[in-house]
Chain A
Amino acid sequence: MTATAPLDTEPAARLEASALTLGYTDTAVVSDLDLRVPHGKVTVIVGANACGKSTLLRGLARLLKPRSGSVLLDGEAIHRLPTKQVARSLGLLPQNPIAPEGVTVADLVGRGRHPHHGAFGRWTTEDEQAVAEALTLTDTLALADRVVDELSGGQRQRVWIAMALAQGTDLLLLDEPTTYLDVAHQVEMLDLLADLNARRGTTIVMVLHDLNLSARYADHLVALRTGRIVAEGTPREVVTEEVVRTVFGLDNRVIDDPVSHTPLVVPVGRRQRLAPQEIR
């Protein structure tokens, strides 16, 4: 049932979960989970609602303390490391970020440099360059002096990513970055992230709810069900009819995406199962 890529051919993993159990109250949402995030690749975590994928990401992002087990960054338990130190390696795009009123794009992206300012840190040219680069990469340079509040949804999401980029981290975690975006912007966003991964080698871990987009953009796919990994590996290995049925409870066919040649899930609904003459 579990499809795993052979571990010895995987690149080194800087971020990993080891026997990780996470929960908010007494029940465990993620149970005894092991995950090694392949370095320099795009990892996507998928699963049905309430399977624990957001919780897992939050655990990896140091937002949630493990009940048992640990999250390791470069071999060290992430919770024992100072927050600022972690922030220099791990960037995060949270699910519902708040844009303070009246803040300009340049200002907001600049705040991403905070982890690099020591106790008495001042703003340096290095910071300026990081911000400029982040804005350029996300194609938001033209919006630099605009107020974030007044931007469209797609533009705002790009600005938040720019802020995470300005943080200058090797790893980037994103919690459902494409929710609230329309399809065109979703693809645009994922293209941007893929670009980032290709150009800068940023390790990306994200939670996506769209299985087909996940199959298209992921190097490494992790399918969760009730807090445990059901399948893990390349999209071709993971996105099979059997796995999709187990994880999503959906009758389906898997075909080849004519554009990207990654697996494409075609749902089979109740009506499609009826013979054509029977459909009224």
Chain B
Amino acid sequence: MTVTVDPGPVATQTPTRDAVEVVRRARRGPVRHRRRLVGGLALVVAAAFAARVLLGDYTVTIPDFLRILGGEQIPGATYIVMESKLPRAVLAVLAGLAFGVGGAIFQTTLRNPLASPDIVGVSLGASAAAVSAIALAGWTGWPVSAAAVAGALGVALVVRLVAGDHGGFRLVLAGIGMAAAMQSVIQYVFTRVDEYDVQLVLRWLTGSVNGVAWSSIGLFATALVVLLPATAWAARSLEVTELGDDAASGLGVGRGRTDLLMFLAVLLVAVAVAAAGPIAFVAFLSGPIARALNQGRTTLLASGLVGAAIVLVGDYAGAYAFADLNLPVGIVTGAFGAPFLLWLLARGPLNGHRGRRAA
């Protein structure tokens, strides 16, 4: 921390109009930076989306693409675009958004970057519930999403109860335990599955945007249309929650508000998992990356866009970067996300918020 010498008392009654101007200008700086960041990220996501849909092993020109969207049947291209590339890309964006926003909310509200839904078992809980519903009970469609939500909420509740009011370390450790438990459940379901479907396994253990029907994507998108605006509204209290429990209470944000926000975050993650599986590390990495780009300040929108970018790029890499192999995005993010997490752990104290105390 840089130590500054106090400039000494200034005349305490400067004209209010100048003061207001100073305040206005001071507030504008971070807002402008954030707007530029969001704009830049939106461009990145758009570019990645275009690359995913139009490029790869089968190139589609833009005019052709527009024609396909219009309903025209171009032999070969229409199938590939409409049945493979486009759904994957759309799902990637949506899932990335949901994981990014959900993860950032968790990390900010719990004041711990390690307390991300994919690390504390919430994503895996959703996945375990969903895969059980599908493989053991034969459910499809929205009941599966409902099961995922139930699983996610169940894990979140257990973790929260175990952590009590101590939060922090206890919460993360309890989450790790629950994550391991959920993995066991998922693995158990696999051994019960008669027809061995590799894609099924990969989807529910690590996450994949491949092979998802448009109906599921539509369901997911509908959920997001409801959840994202609600989250944006509820998250206005986040800037106050960041200041600590006492300060937040003093400013009128009680436990209830925080719980509501966390509930929405769990829902976001759960519906994303129901559609694309528990894509590893996206929720964990999006918030910190967005914050690093935003001079350390939390921003949900940028976190969502970073998440979308990660999933798009990860899916692209998984599809083409490894000759002949079609790796699901979860393997890619897991394989590269884990070393990144390890590097972060080695680099600095990642346990607990780095907020300053009065000392």
Contacts and interface: CB of A to CB of B under 8 A. Distances in A.
Partners in one complex: yes
Interface of A: 58, 61-63, 83-88, 90-107, 110-112, 114-115, 117, 120, 125, 128-129, 131-133, 135-137, 139, 141-142, 144-145, 148-157, 160, 164, 167, 173, 179-180
A101 B242 CA distance: 10
A132 B354 CA distance: 28
A117 B244 CA distance: 19
Interface string B24-35: 111101100000
Given A99-B356, A106-B26, A128-B24, 15 more contacts: A94-B244, A98-B355, A98-B357, A99-B355, A100-B355, A101-B354, A106-B27, A111-B239, A115-B251, A117-B236, A141-B10, A142-B10, A152-B3, A152-B5, A156-B358
A107 B27 contact: yes
Q: Which 3 residue pairs are nearest across A and B when measured between Cβ atoms? A: A102-B296, A92-B250, A87-B252
B191 interface: no
Contacts of A98: 111, 242-244, 247, 353, 355-357
B63 to A, nearest CB: 43
Interface SS of A by simple majority:
helix
A129 B26 contact: no
A125 B21 CA distance: 11
B353 to A, nearest CB: 7
Contact of A97 (B6, B246, B353): B246
B358 A180 contact: yes
B2 interface: yes
B30 A104 contact: yes
A100 B104 CA distance: 14
Contacts, number: 168
B23 A135 contact: yes
Contacts of B111: 98
B358 A114 contact: no
Interface stretch (B12-20, B139-147, B209-217): B12-20
B253 interface: yes
A88 B242 CA distance: 19
Contacts of A152: 3-6
A83 B260 CA distance: 15
Nearest to B108: A100
A161 to B, nearest CB: 12
A106 B250 contact: no
Contacts of B236: 117
A279 B9 CA distance: 46
A112 B297 CA distance: 17
A96 B243 CA distance: 9
B294 interface: yes
7 contacts: A92-B249, A98-B111, A106-B22, A106-B26, A144-B25, A151-B4, A152-B3
A136 B13 contact: yes
A114 B251 CA distance: 6
Given A63-B249, A112-B251, A149 B26 contact: no
Contacts of A112: 251
B12 A139 contact: yes
B241 to A, nearest CB: 10
Interface SS of B by simple majority:
loop
A155 B6 contact: yes
Interface residues of B, number: 53
Contacts of A87: 250-252
A154 B6 contact: yes
A145 B30 CA distance: 9
B296 A97 contact: no
B247 A129 contact: no
B7 interface: yes
A84 B26 contact: no
B298 interface: yes
Contact of A145 (B7, B25, B242, B250): B25
A58 B240 CA distance: 18
Nearest to B244: A98
| Chain B CB within 10 A, most for which of A84, A100, A131 | A100
Contacts of B249: 61-63, 83, 92
B26 A104 contact: yes
B357 A96 contact: yes
Contacts of B240: 111, 114
| Chain A CB within 10 A, most for which of B23, B247, B353 | B23
A97 B27 contact: no
B19 A135 contact: yes
A191 B30 CA distance: 32
| Chain B CB within 10 A, most for which of A101, A102, A117, A141 | A101
B240 to A, nearest CB: 5
Nearest to B4: A152
Contact of B23 (A58, A86, A106): A106
B286 to A, nearest CB: 17
Contacts of B26: 104-107, 144-145
Contacts of B254: 83
Given A106-B27, A141-B10, A141-B19, A90 B356 contact: no
| Chain A CB within 10 A, most for which of B13, B20, B251, B353 | B251
A128 B23 contact: yes
A63 B294 CA distance: 32
| Chain B CB within 10 A, most for which of A85, A98, A117, A149 | A98
Interface string B266-281: 0000000000000000
Given A114-B240, A152-B6, A141 B247 contact: no
